[in-house]
Structure 1
Amino acid sequence: MTGPGAAVRSLADIERAAREALAPDVWDFVAGGSGDELTLAGNRTALDQVALVPRALTGCAAADPGCTVLGEPWPIPAAVAPMAYQRLLHPEGEVAAARAAAAAGVTYVISTMSSSPLEEITATGARTWFQLYWLKDRARTAELVRRAERAGCGALMLTVDVPVMGRRLRDARNGFTLPGSVSAALLGDGPHSATAHTADDTGSAVARHTSAVFDPALSWQDVEWLRGLTSLPLALKGVLSPADARRSADAGVDLLVVSNHGGRQLDGAIGSADALPAVASAVAGRLPVLLDSGVRGGTDVLRALALGACGVLLGRPVLWGLATDGEAGVRAVLDQVRDELEHAMLLAGCPTPAHAPGLARGTEGTR
Structure 2
Amino acid sequence: MTRSTAHESFAGYSIESVLGRGGMGTVYLARHPRLPRRVALKLLNADISAHADLRRRFELESDIVARLEHPGIVGIYDRGTHDGHLWIAMQYIEGTDASRIESRSATVERALRITADTGAALDYAHSRNILHRDIKPANILLSAPEPGRAERAILTDFGIARLLDATSTPTATGTFAATLGYASPEQLCGQPVDARTDQYSLACTLFTILAGRSPFQADNPGQVVAAHLSQPAPRLSELRGDVPTALDNVIIRAMAKQPGERYASCGEFAEAAANALAHQGKTNVYRTAPTVVGPASALRTARPKVEPSNAPAPFAPRPRPAPEPTPPSSVVQVVVTAIMVVIVLTVIVLAYWRLFQ
Higher strand share: 2
The TM-score bracket by the shorter chain reads under 0.3
TM-score of the aligned structures, taking structure 2 as reference length: 0.26
Higher RCO (C-alpha 8 Å, min separation 6): 1
TM-score, normalised on structure 1? Answer: 0.26
Larger CA Rg, structure 1 vs 2: 2
